[in-house]
Structure 1
Amino acid sequence: MKEGLVRRIQCFKFSEERSAHVTHLLYIHRKRPSLIVQEIDIINPSEHSLDLDFKQKNQISNNDLKQLDQRDIQFDSNNDIYSMITNQLSIRQHNFIIYVIITNKIISNCHVKPGSPEKQIILTVVKFSSVISENSLLNKTYSQEIQEQLQKQAKYDMSDALSISSIRLLKEHIDTWSLIWQSGFTMSRSLAPSTMNGDVINRTIYYILCSTPAPLYELNINETKRNELNQSLFQIDQCYESHST
């Protein structure tokens, strides 16, 4: 968690002669808040080829969710096909949020040669509107403008992410995440019995940080705003005074 990454390692045994190791790396990019990156590495240590099927889960049905648009798109930087979905989500007090998701469609079949690795990188961009009242949504022109604006922003963010390598994306994220600890804020390694241990606190910290905007580190912030945010960090009345971790 010090690097802002979640890793999962899985081992699969298909038969006495066939097995695979799968490493899954996931992170919400700290410098590009709309971007989610997944890297899946498959290693075939056996002497036999593996043919694997992948399934990309469809969106879970929800009574509060309404799909407004869905289409396949492509970007100039590669030949991959991306799915762009625009949804409308009902929230409290008759208000709504419109959001757009762009993600690349994964390869459904994967052939892994003996002793060879296979890698898939899945990029997902999510852009969402501010809260919209029910009355405002009745204006179809206004609603359509919001959809088109979000779709344009999502396409731009995805195109920008595709313009650099996955290695650079990862380094950019880790370097930005490491700036959090310069203030002296830390994660604990304590696993002492009968206490609020570091693993629980660390997971909470990680979830909050991933779910909270960090405008100071974002790419598109102007210098004036950046200076204002830097100055706000030195306000003593905002210091943390709870559990020591």
Structure 2
Amino acid sequence: MQEAAGASATHQTRPAGAGGGGGSSSSSQPRSRPHGGTARGHGPWARPYLGRGASLGSGCAGCSPGRGPRGWGRARRSLRAAPRCWPAAAGTVLKREKQTEMHYARLCTTEALTEYFSPPVISYHCVTVREEVVAHRSRPHLYLQRIRIANPTERVAAFEASAPASAPSLGGRFATSLEKAEERQFLLSSGRLLLPGSPKVVLMVVAAKKLVSRVQVAPKSHFDETMLSVVYTSEPIEASKLEETFSKLREAAKKEMLEVMQMGVEDLFREHQQTWSDLFISGIEMKKITDLHTPSSETVNMTLYYVLSSMPAPLLDPLISGEDREKMEASLNYADHCFSGHATMHAENLWPAKLTSVPQILQLSDLWKLTLQKRGCKGLVAAGVHGLMQGMVLSFGGLQFTENHLQFQADPDVLHNSYSLRGIHYNKDLINLAVLLDAEGKPFLHVSVKFQDKPVRLYACEAGCMNEPVELTSEARGHTFPVMVTQPITPLLYISTDLIHLQDLRHTLHLKAILAHEEHMAKQYPGLPFLFWFSVASLITLFHLFLFKLIYNEYCGPGAKPLFRSKV
């Protein structure tokens, strides 16, 4: 944790029933609650520790709340790693006044995932400190830091808030001042970061809520506090522009800090969670995996979260122009020619099983953006985090938009895995597409649609479109389509608002044959070769000839014994 430097007051919690000290966590007065429960992650996506290099971000800046904070800012395609530079006022460091047993848990939390950066160990003989850090998704400059100290012992636990040691070798110089505005106080830290091998510098300004300098946690009680930090960074600039840039950053940080301090902390958390929930209207769900090269649900969710965390959300920016917003929404609703090429489901470098460092996360984010841009998805990448989610979902299954339809062009040879793709934008509606397996293990397609506005007629047909297209509805049961494989290979499914286009499509494909999936697989893998069966038959024949020869020599050959004794 980082510190709220300059705080001078002392706060003492009260045990349950002692009176006073109430209020919500959004108030300036921290509160105490009776001890109970354990330090755990929240939400349906809560998962165990992934690695000390795990990180959180909001697309504008981020941090890695492992041992030693690291900041990162924007680069050419995504976020860039920066030196160990987090300023003193960005958070809080708590130190025990006495050397008694204590366990420490640090968490990085979003609505999508909860990461444990130290597995929380709960003991009834030690004090437990839990820190939860949240990078607000819709407010890219805001960070929330929840601190909970649980004291189950019989003695008072005292802590001091102190600044982490700075790293002068990095050339970072920060100054902190106490700001007062509209009857509110907060700390404003500003400084510069030297870039190795460059005459330019990066400026950083952090506004942080002021915290008491000394905390006393009564026996059998909790101490809870939520810190707010607003972080603004600049692009690398020349020394001649320092004052002008500093002034703009300070004003922006102060303005946003005053705005969020007027809101309740729980409102900020709900706003953050709702943004992630809206993003994950689209997504990927793995249902059944039968090979080692297909990513698990955990790997898919982890990749989605980390890549999206490194991407800005221009559609959530209140300052975006109407023209730019309209252009981005148009790309999001119909991503023409995206995604071209084969599906990325089995691309292990795009869906890594393990991410352990910030540079690895940033490299993965860059690779995803480059892949999508080269496969016809430039418009989606330009739309920020919402477009990137759409592009990743399209690429996973090999879905592609053309001028008149959306086509599902997965490889029919790899449909032995069961998965679903949800929230595919088609104009203003959302399409869900699933590859499922029946009781005999044969794949089929399930399609449903969720209309966001007034219902629009959507039609679909399987490979070849030889059957009459089916109108899709919003009914829960959806529609199922058989997996048909054409020669030559064409997409397995077509979806369009233009019925005549789908009816005409069958006449333009010029197919040699249309096979059921099981027939196609039988031709692809017809079994053991003829030479094998010929060899087996030859061995069996030779064995029987050899056996016949033995029997013949035994009873009919020279020196054979008579079958019956002659009478004397």
TM beyond 0.5: yes
Once residues 115 and 396 of structure 2 are traced to their aligned partners in structure 1, the CA distance between those partners, rounded to angstroms, is 29
Q: TM-score under structure 2 normalisation?
A: 0.36
User: Over residues 11-68 of structure 1, what are the superposed CA-to-partner deviations in whole Å (9 max), with x where a residue is unaligned?
Assistant: 476xxx85233332221111110111111122223343222334442443443x442x
Amino acid at match of 1:175: Q
User: Over residues 119-176 of structure 1, what are the superposed CA-to-partner deviations in whole Å (9 max), with x where a residue is unaligned?
Assistant: 12222211122332xxx42x3xx32111111111111111111110110010010011
| Aligned pair partner of 1:175 in 257, 265, 274 | 274
Once residues 180 and 288 of structure 2 are traced to their aligned partners in structure 1, the CA distance between those partners, rounded to angstroms, is 47
**Contact map agreement 2:148 2:222 (CA 8 A) in 1:** yes
**Contact map agreement 2:192 2:201 (CA 8 A) in 1:** no
Report the counterpart of residue 235 of structure 2 in structure 1. Answer: 130
CA distance 1:211–1:46, shift in 2 (3 Å): same
Once residues 165 and 93 of structure 1 are traced to their aligned partners in structure 2, the CA distance between those partners, rounded to angstroms, is 42
Name the SS for the 1:74 alignment partner. Answer: strand
Report the counterpart of residue 145 of structure 1 in structure 2. Answer: 244
Q: Summarize the alignment of residues 29-178 of structure 1 with structure 2, pairs less than 5 Å apart.
A: 29-63=136-170, 65-67=171-173, 70-76=175-181, 80-90=185-195, 94-132=199-237, 136-137=238-239, 139=240, 142-178=241-277
Once residues 149 and 118 of structure 1 are traced to their aligned partners in structure 2, the CA distance between those partners, rounded to angstroms, is 36
Amino acid at match of 2:120: Q
Say whether residues 1:226 and 2:336 are aligned partners.
Answer: no
Question: Share of identical aligned residues, percent?
Answer: 22
Q: TM-score under structure 1 normalisation?
A: 0.77
Name the SS for the 2:257 alignment partner. Answer: helix
Report the counterpart of residue 306 of structure 2 in structure 1. Answer: 207
Name the SS for the 2:138 alignment partner. Answer: coil
User: Over residues 176-212 of structure 1, what are the superposed CA-to-partner deviations in whole Å (9 max), with x where a residue is unaligned?
Assistant: 1111112x22476999995544444433432322222
Amino acid at match of 2:248: Q
**Contact map agreement 2:207 2:253 (CA 8 A) in 1:** yes
User: Over residues 53-107 of structure 1, what are the superposed CA-to-partner deviations in whole Å (9 max), with x where a residue is unaligned?
Assistant: 34442443443x442x513122436655414122133266654332222234543
CA distance 1:218–1:22, shift in 2 (3 Å): farther
Quote the RMSD (CA, aligned, Å): 3.3
Q: Between Structure 1 and Structure 2, whose CA radius of gyration is higher?
A: 2
Name the SS for the 2:145 alignment partner. Answer: strand
Shift of residue 220, structure 1, vs aligned partner: 4.0
CA distance 1:94–1:167, shift in 2 (3 Å): same
Once residues 136 and 143 of structure 2 are traced to their aligned partners in structure 1, the CA distance between those partners, rounded to angstroms, is 6
Gaps of 5+ in 2: 1-44, 46-109, 339-376, 378-390, 398-418, 421-568
Which deviates the most, 47-56 or 204-213? 47-56
Name the SS for the 2:280 alignment partner. Answer: helix
Say whether residues 1:10 and 2:120 are aligned partners.
Answer: yes
| Aligned pair partner of 2:283 in 147, 166, 185 | 185
CA distance 1:95–1:52, shift in 2 (3 Å): closer
Report the counterpart of residue 335 of structure 2 in structure 1. Answer: 235
**Contact map agreement 2:203 2:233 (CA 8 A) in 1:** yes
Once residues 290 and 169 of structure 2 are traced to their aligned partners in structure 1, the CA distance between those partners, rounded to angstroms, is 42
Gaps of 5+ in 1: none
**Contact map agreement 1:77 1:163 (CA 8 A) in 2:** no
**Contact map agreement 1:82 1:104 (CA 8 A) in 2:** yes
CA distance 1:58–1:160, shift in 2 (3 Å): farther
CA distance 1:114–1:222, shift in 2 (3 Å): farther
Higher relative contact order (CA 8 A, sep 6+): 1
Name the SS for the 1:176 alignment partner. Answer: helix
CA distance 1:96–1:10, shift in 2 (3 Å): same
**Contact map agreement 2:186 2:207 (CA 8 A) in 1:** no
Once residues 128 and 101 of structure 1 are traced to their aligned partners in structure 2, the CA distance between those partners, rounded to angstroms, is 9
CA distance 1:228–1:89, shift in 2 (3 Å): farther
**Contact map agreement 1:102 1:158 (CA 8 A) in 2:** yes
**Contact map agreement 1:45 1:114 (CA 8 A) in 2:** yes
Once residues 192 and 171 of structure 1 are traced to their aligned partners in structure 2, the CA distance between those partners, rounded to angstroms, is 38
